[in-house]
Amino acid sequence: MLLETIYLTRHGFRSNWVVDHNTGIYTANIPSPTGIASDPALAGYGVEQSEQLAEHLQTLDPPIDRFYSSPFYRCLQTITPTVRNIAPTATSPETVKIRGENGIGEWYGMARFDHPSPATPSVLKPLFSHYDETYTPFIKPSVNGETIEELHERVAYALIRIIQKSDEEGVKAIVLCTHAATLIAIGRVLTGRMPEDVGEEDFRPFTCGLSTFERRTNDGVKFPEKEWQGPETPIPAVPTWRDGSGVGGGWNLTVSGDCSFLKGGEERGWRFSGDESFVADSTALDVGSGLGVVVEGSKPSTLPPNPSRL
């Protein structure tokens, strides 16, 4: 059995944090559980969203075999209710572990200062009992920042390695929990559709919304020959994924940003603005408003799932 389905979601509503682009200092009104200002927990509303997401994820067919998450607190917190709920009936111990994959972590653009890294496994394990502290990420973003192009390259490498590992483990379905910009990049590298306008609203990453991707083929799939060699080293070449090819055999988007199971419906979407660095003024900015455009969605949540635009 090889991987057939990828479920993709974004973390829930989070607490706020800002960065002063002049100093590179991140601050938050509510202290982060990890002690990292740019690593906030979910707001109370986001916790409610995560529980609603968990109820929905338990109904999916095929059921989830593996959990991959950005190692930032808000993503781990979002996916934990699902893992906790399926634990009593899980047939494999690997199914109830959360693999923290930095390759699907947050994007911070090209600001001049060092970019935040998530907490270490030794910090995260006491906070999340299901966190797999033995898992080794396939790649980590550069602390020197990334262009939009580099974000897509990083995500492409992370995704093809996750697909490869899933094939090797013989699992049928996995879920990825990530951030807005990264979610859009994931959709693009899976389907192979890279728009001419990077700001095109092709994949709408609403908080706790869910997209589903079905594999086109697993025959003759090529994986990278070289592995990532460590921080600040080049990203290994990935077989061509653009022009509709997609990584790992290519994937069709069958459910796009579904929020019908969320009481609040579609909320706090996002798209690229085309900017790769924070606006040069004296204002402290949230990464959402500094590097992209917040998109409001449709309400109420009784609306049917958004059809694929691909």
Looking at residue 300, its pLDDT comes to 61
CA nearest 157: which of 136, 169, 141? 141
Mean pLDDT split into 10-residue runs, the chain, 310 residues: 96 84 77 92 97 98 98 98 95 96 94 83 98 98 92 98 98 98 98 95 95 96 94 92 97 97 96 78 53 81 40
- List CB contacts of 64: < 8 A, sequence separation 6 or more: 7, 57, 82, 86, 95, 173, 174, 175
Looking at residue 308, its pLDDT comes to 34
CA distance 192 to 202: 12
Strands (E) located in 51-146? 66-69, 98-100
CA distance 147 to 108: 9
Looking at residue 276, its pLDDT comes to 85
CA distance 72 to 79: 11
The number of C-alpha atoms within 13 Å of 202 and in the hemisphere containing its C-beta is: 22
- Listed by start position, the domains of the chain span 5-295
User: What would the two tokens of residue 21 be?
Assistant: 């682009």
The number of C-alpha atoms within 13 Å of 52 and in the hemisphere containing its C-beta is: 22
CATH class of 5-295: alpha beta
Looking at residue 128, its pLDDT comes to 98
State the virtual CA torsion across 129, 35, 19, 44 in degrees, nearest 10.
50
Burial label, 2 (beta-carbon count in 10 A; 0-12, 13-18, 19+): middle
Looking at residue 27, its pLDDT comes to 80
Q: State the CB neighbour count (10 A cutoff) for residue 129.
A: 12
Looking at residue 57, its pLDDT comes to 98
| pTM score, whole prediction | 0.92
